[in-house]
Amino acid sequence: MTVKIPHVTLNNGVRMPLLGFGVYQIPEEQTQQAVEDALEAGYRLIDTAAAYENERAVGRAIAAAGIPRDELFITTKLWIQDYGRDSAERAFDRSLDRLGLDHLDLYLLHQPYGDYYGAWRALEDLNRDGRARAIGVSNFYPDRLADLITHNEVVPAANQIETHVLFQRTADQDLMRRHGVQHESWGPLAQGGQDFFDNPVLVDIARAHDRSVAQIALRWLVQREIVVIPKSVRPARMAENLDLFDFRLTDDEMARIAELDTGRSPVFDHHDPDNVTWLGGVRFDT
């Protein structure tokens, strides 16, 4: 039986599934099968990016699945090299072509560097003409997000940032709530680092609910009303990650997990100048 996934309502009234499927770091040659399996399992939000270089495979999977377009929520992202008003619009068209779609449900600026002002104004235009039903950002820390909101017309509908039990981003979420921006998590399982799946607190709570550590970590996020997009190429794990909505963590369990916050990323530091310089030089066939 298909799992009924709850939705959140974005600041422009568009409804977005609370749980979706991400394809970051899935090789292009495996992506079509993975997305077909995810859609078969019941996922309806699919998250990709031009920089992942697997949009074509996502598009083939969407076409093969035959699911009505209005039942799907498709997100992709604009890479830094295509920032700027004119180049952003051209890159959007290329992403649509690769995906085989005539519109996107959510289009994101992938990083807060380069001419993201010009790119954002292109996204505002795409949103106004309906080709992008909602627009947002990714990896924007509170200062950059506040700056973008203050000096532009459209408030981002979502901000997709690294968020998990080891890096909880509560101050980020507070700011987003004040401005009506939906918090979305990438890397909700910390990419398995820092002995994530052996964490004693998570293991203990998982045993209490007869669930996996991954399910507990994902449930903790969705109880905070954070959209999550876990990734897997294994159908059994895809099904497990969907199975979050027939149990609930207690207030005490939520508080125990809250104590795991390290306050820093174990994956990628967007404040490190060397990392910023590296990102600015990365080029893809977008």
* Residue 128 pLDDT: 97
Token digits for 129? 């003409």
* Residue 135 pLDDT: 98
* Residue 225 pLDDT: 98
Token digits for 188? 């909700």
**Three-state secondary structure of 107-170:** EEECCCCCCHHHHHHHHHHHHHCCCECCEEEECCCHHHHHHHHHCCCCCCCEEEEECECCECCH
Q: With the CA atoms of 162, 165, 167 and 169 taken in that order, what torsion angle do they form, in degrees rounded to the nearest 10?
A: 80
Exactly one of 52, 83, 107, 116 is catalytic; which is it? 52
- Structure-token match 């399992």, residue found: 41
Q: Using an 8 Å Cβ cutoff, are 183 and 226 in contact?
A: yes
The rounded distance, in Å, linking the Cα atoms of 40 and 66 is 11
CA-based angle 81:11:261, to the nearest 5?
Answer: 75
* Residue 192 pLDDT: 83
* Residue 2 pLDDT: 67
**Is 116 in the active site?**
no
The rounded distance, in Å, linking the Cα atoms of 17 and 127 is 19
Domain boundaries, the chain: 7-279
> Helices in the chain by DSSP H: which ranges?
28-41, 55-65, 85-99, 116-128, 142-150, 170-179, 200-209, 213-223, 235-242, 251-258, 273-281
The rounded distance, in Å, linking the Cα atoms of 126 and 130 is 6
Q: Each residue's pLDDT tens digit in the chain (286 positions)?
A: 567 899 999 999 999 999 999 999 999 999 999 999 999 999 999 999 999 999 999 999 999 999 999 999 999 999 999 999 999 999 999 999 999 999 999 999 999 999 999 999 999 999 999 999 999 999 999 999 999 999 999 999 999 999 999 999 999 999 999 999 999 999 999 988 888 999 999 999 999 999 999 999 999 999 999 999 999 999 999 999 999 999 999 999 999 999 999 999 999 999 999 999 999 999 998 8
CATH number of the 7-279 domain: 3.20.20.100
* Residue 285 pLDDT: 84
